Structure 1
């Protein structure tokens, strides 16, 4: 759960929340188009998936290079406005953001969002995916008021289109809470994340990826508020879930282990000596 810059403590509230908020951009290409070679399309889909894997392995700089070529080839084979080209282009923007290239990511997502509106419509789930990712990059860039406006719009659209219990709707609530945290409204953000964590656990279970992302974000804010014992407990749960699901060597597991160690050190230092 690495930081890509901006915000409280250098962007620590990013965590892996950005990947959660951009999860729908991180998808394999859709069905093979009939007007192109199935073998050629399969190659593009595999290269797109490989780029996604690089992002999730915390190798964003390599992913940027991989997606640059995938997007160019998709545009040549499928056309620049083809849905699969737009997916690859969204992935490239996400890779730039995860690599800390926020200005480039912002420009790419603005272009990608406009293209998705034209191709899919303003309220289509794929359009909302790009809009949500744009809101996250706005937050990471320090434009919290703009991020709140974008995420509020997405949250409303997703609740209407997908329902209150859909993962994407919960992700929008996560974005709004993180926006508030970055703006310094830690108390309301903490309350919103505690409620979101309760809802995510009830819907998806305690070891689900989204539940763990919310738990880690809630722990970060609790620590900032001085609720050290609560933060340690939540980080222990997040670390345990991530280690069991993703393994001890996964970047998220390693990062959570480091966060937990730091929180335990703060907890120990805050207790009176013998």
Structure 2
């Protein structure tokens, strides 16, 4: 038999040499394109089995031939030449030269036997790969659940450590009996050890999750390759196997330290799940390493986001939520670590310029600035901004957010003039995007007025605040905290501009409102009192 280019095809069962030549020509175009039958089926809207039939020796119709050539040859001039050649072969296949009917030969019998053997071998390998795919989905799903369980556990342990530390100090101050103090210290030490162990298991679970996702990509590529190979051999597709959800429950226990015992039991089960996933991932990795690559294979063209499966999307959302929670609690260092991991996963799964990836990258840089690395965050945001403008558009909310982050970083770095100029450029975008009276727009206007004052433009700041105040009173309400802040800032600007009497009168009128709305001990109330003194 002649050596075929690409994955092996089944034999061409044509009634004439002309039909066989047409089928071989069409198969060659598919091989040269590097596309699988599954991809072609979507592009020309014909099932895989129908495509296999049409290029297996049967004389196809002109529409099929035209659609196939156009889908496999993107270059216009070459496509026209191939269409002309295909039309000539199709015409010859429809009107073949009369010949005697071919007689079955021993070579054909051997070829059919070899074909059946390849079908069985390919189906066995495909079945195994589908089983591995299910195992990886289960492993990744369990790892995602473990990550969430461990994040919650670590949060609880941190609170428990804080509470026990406070309790211990109170006992020491009260000179409590030594046994009570000893029990509290023992529980505190145990909680600290559990927190360390939970952190270790969290790292393991996150690593297992990453490994499972990467292996899933490799196995999915193998499944697609084997599916296409089987399609070429017989034109059928095995059904995908279904995975099962895995759940575990924690068994309650009663002892002198029930909270610590519950955490120990949960950690034991988590360790067992991580150990089990270790074995699964090692087995599949070894299987992939030892699996022989097919010979003369058409290069595999994966879908852009073949990793964007249900469990991958779930993992990204869950990890992003956990990072946001850490940031909201003020733990910026941990938020940066978690956002960095989320950004890496977004980049690997969705791509470096996917909109979701870009948003995560900008959030990471913002919290990086809040953690103290203002200079590094500013430089990275400046590099990220043109990517946002190109991918998302110059007036997209995400682009506006990056420009705002960058201005805030410049201000924190001491460049108030540059920050004010940058924020002034963003303001019209917010007015068009959100509306001139949207709360975000009003907040931006208030911040810009404050920055103008810091640059020494007190009169300009006062004018901006005077223009902003009636809008705040109408949109937010006359006693809204933001409205009160605008009134306080305006009075302060007037005082600095030389209108001491007018500023004092405004502050005297403002103080009872602050005391009633915000409370007598509120920092804003105290600030108004200081300004009046």
- TM-score in same-fold range (> 0.5): yes
Q: Deviations over 1:125-175 (max 9, x none)?
A: 221121122112212222122222211211122323443123333233133
The correspondence for 2:376, drawn from 97, 104, 118, is 104
Larger CA deviation: 155-164 vs 137-146: 155-164
CA distance in 1, matches of 2:469, 2:331: 28
Say whether the 8 Å CA contact 1:139–1:182 is kept in structure 2: no
Q: Deviations over 1:83-107 (max 9, x none)?
A: 1111111111221222332112212
Say whether the 8 Å CA contact 1:215–1:238 is kept in structure 2: no
Q: Which residue of 1 aligns with 2:153?
A: none
Q: Which residue of 1 aligns with 2:360?
A: 88
* Change beyond 3 A, Cα 1:155–1:235: same
Q: Does 1:66 align with 2:345?
A: no
* Change beyond 3 A, Cα 1:123–1:267: closer
* Change beyond 3 A, Cα 1:237–1:92: farther
* Change beyond 3 A, Cα 1:262–1:214: closer
CA distance in 2, matches of 1:63, 1:197: 36
Offset at residue 73 of structure 1 (A): 1.6
Q: Which residue of 2 aligns with 1:181?
A: 453
CA distance in 2, matches of 1:212, 1:187: 24
Larger CA deviation: 81-90 vs 50-59: 50-59
Q: Secondary structure at the match of 1:100?
A: coil
The structure showing larger relative contact order (alpha-carbon pairs under 8 Å, at least 6 residues apart) is 1
Offset at residue 60 of structure 1 (A): 2.2
Q: Deviations over 1:55-98 (max 9, x none)?
A: 33333232222212211121122111111111111111221222
Q: Deviations over 1:181-209 (max 9, x none)?
A: 221333432442354344234224468xx
TM-score, normalised by the number of residues in structure 1: 0.65
Q: Does 1:167 align with 2:436?
A: no
Q: Which residue of 1 aligns with 2:321?
A: 49
CA RMSD of superposed structures (Å): 3.2
Say whether the 8 Å CA contact 2:465–2:490 is kept in structure 1: no
- After superposition, residues 211-222 of structure 1 pair within 5 angstroms as 212-213=481-482, 215-216=484-485, 219=488, 222=491
The correspondence for 2:347, drawn from 69, 75, 81, is 75
Number of residue pairs the alignment of both structures matches: 218
Say whether the 8 Å CA contact 1:223–1:263 is kept in structure 2: no
CA distance in 2, matches of 1:257, 1:50: 31
Offset at residue 223 of structure 1 (A): 5.0
The correspondence for 1:118, drawn from 385, 390, 395, is 390
Q: Which residue of 2 aligns with 1:145?
A: 417
Q: Does 1:157 align with 2:429?
A: yes
Offset at residue 38 of structure 1 (A): 2.4
Say whether the 8 Å CA contact 1:159–1:169 is kept in structure 2: yes
CA distance in 2, matches of 1:88, 1:53: 14
Say whether the 8 Å CA contact 1:216–1:234 is kept in structure 2: no
CA distance in 2, matches of 1:105, 1:214: 32
The correspondence for 2:312, drawn from 37, 40, 51, is 40
* Change beyond 3 A, Cα 1:156–1:51: same
Unaligned runs of 5+ in 2: 1-304, 497-502
- After superposition, residues 254-273 of structure 1 pair within 5 angstroms as 257-258=522-523, 260-261=525-526, 263-264=528-529, 266=530, 270=533
Q: Which residue of 2 aligns with 1:22?
A: none
Say whether the 8 Å CA contact 2:385–2:402 is kept in structure 1: yes
Q: Secondary structure at the match of 2:522?
A: helix
CA distance in 1, matches of 2:396, 2:348: 25
CA distance in 2, matches of 1:57, 1:171: 22
Offset at residue 120 of structure 1 (A): 0.8
Q: Which residue of 2 aligns with 1:196?
A: 468
Q: Which residue of 2 aligns with 1:10?
A: none
Offset at residue 54 of structure 1 (A): 3.0
CA distance in 2, matches of 1:101, 1:135: 15
Say whether the 8 Å CA contact 1:93–1:108 is kept in structure 2: yes
TM-score, normalised by the number of residues in structure 2: 0.36
Unaligned runs of 5+ in 1: 1-32, 241-255
CA distance in 2, matches of 1:238, 1:64: 36
Say whether the 8 Å CA contact 1:116–1:127 is kept in structure 2: yes
